[in-house]
Amino acid sequence: MTKEFLRIPVLVAALGYLVDMYDLFLFSIVRIPSLKDLGLSGDDILKNGVWLLNLQMAGLLVGGIVWGILGDKKGRLSVLFGSILIYSLANIANGFAGSLGMYAVLRFIAGFGLAGELGAGITLVTEILPSRIRGYGTTLVATLGLLGALLAYLVSFLFSWRVSYIIGGCLGLLLMISRIRVFESGIFTQLKKKHIRKGDLRMLFASKTRFIKYISSIVIGMPIWFITGVIITFSPEFGKAMGIDQPLDAGKAVLLAFSGQVLGNIVSGMLSQYFQSRKKVILLFMLSSLVFMLIYLLVPIHHTNLLYILCVCMGFGNGYWTLFITVAAELFGTNLRATVATTVPNFVRGTVILLTSFFVLMRGSFGMINSALIVGILTYALALFAFIYLEETFTKDINFTESD
């Protein structure tokens, strides 16, 4: 098992996701100091922070479609190499951004590049590893990836926000060199010999059953990014609205939340293997995340340490991130797998645009806490409804193709 589990593609996919998450959450950590350095202050930091976050997520949406289609048409490796090159160069350029406009353009480009990393990596791992241990493989990928958020905090603590971006870009370029030894999955190699439709998004909408599976896969992941994109990213503003004794530090909130999520990914992956079920564990973690979110927003808390503890707890509840992406990859045939596994997590990330926009729209009338509560309850309600249509995939044979 160890020899199969520690194959080069698995390790490289895991390290690639580490660099991916480093960049993705570096902005949440350096949002305030970087925008202050660019001349913004007061409420403009929140408004423009939301705008930049949404541009990054828009890049993920567009990139998710492009890289997903390429992954099924040209191969998983072409996506791995192309995506990391783009977001690495964009990261380095971020370190030299001299205006808000340039910062915005580069966040969009970085998001576009980041979109291909996780889906291609998960697809490659699920196709290379046998069904009995592929849950361990995807858990390793997501766990090391989430450690990237922790690395981002450490680097941002030691260096300026500009140097932090440059370091992330350089790490990506170094990783790309290591990927020269990675080989394509045997399942995709066999698919290349078949004359069937590959990476065609229209196939996802051609069948009612296929469409419901696809939409459900996306909606189930929305609570994770409500917590990450709204509650954690704007934790300083929430702390102020709660009247806590000391200002909350966004970087520390991200660090603690993703420490919890790393642990949650490990625990959920192990529980999934133990119970031989992905669906039961996803429901357990989704409900725990809901409970911690309600405590955060409804229980009167006036101490920063208690809020930081809740950040860890909500992060732990988000630990079903690995499982829901694995399920998305396992649900669909080889000729659509990369398209689905790449677009689903990026569409989930992209829902942050709707969630933050709805949150900001209501903030003026209902305030920080109540507007977040409304958006959060709606998000979890949709996710629990979508869960009804989720198929158990633990023992599923993924060596199949989707018909027209």
Q: Judge whether 318 and 227 are in contact, CB under 8 Å.
A: yes
* The pair of three-digit structure tokens given for residue 401, joined into one six-digit string: 């193709």
Q: Residue 378's pLDDT is what?
A: 96
Nearest to 334 by CA among 196, 185, 188: 188
Q: Residue 280's pLDDT is what?
A: 94
Arch. (CATH architecture) of 2-180+198-387:
Up-down Bundle (1.20)
Q: Residue 221's pLDDT is what?
A: 94
* The pair of three-digit structure tokens given for residue 307, joined into one six-digit string: 């809020």
CA 134 vs. chain centroid, Å, equals 19
For residues 16 and 382, the model is more confident at 382
For the chain, give the percent of residues with pLDDT over 70. 91
Using a 10 angstrom Cβ sphere, with 0-12 exposed, 13-18 middle and 19 or more buried, the burial of residue 5 is middle
Q: Residue 31's pLDDT is what?
A: 87
DSSP of 273-342, one letter per residue?
HHHT-SHHHHHHHHHHHHHHHHHHHHS----HHHHHHHHHHHHHHGGGHHHHHHHHHHHS-HHHHHHHHH
Separation of alpha carbons 86 and 191, rounded Å: 27
pLDDT in tens, 147-206: 787 788 889 989 999 999 999 999 888 877 766 555 445 555 565 556 667 667 788 888
pLDDT in tens, 2-38: 455 556 667 777 787 788 888 877 887 888 899 999 9
Separation of alpha carbons 38 and 30, rounded Å: 12
Q: Residue 8's pLDDT is what?
A: 64
pLDDT in tens, 200-237: 778 888 888 889 999 999 999 999 999 988 999 888 88
DSSP of 357-402, one letter per residue?
HHHHHHHHHHHHHHHHHHHHHHHHHHHHHHHTTPPP-TT-------
* The pair of three-digit structure tokens given for residue 47, joined into one six-digit string: 């408004």
Separation of alpha carbons 324 and 131, rounded Å: 16
Separation of alpha carbons 375 and 372, rounded Å: 5
Q: Residue 24's pLDDT is what?
A: 77
Q: Where are the domains of the chain?
A: 2-180+198-387
Nearest to 173 by CA among 106, 108, 81, 79: 81
Task: Return the SS3 of 1.
Answer: coil
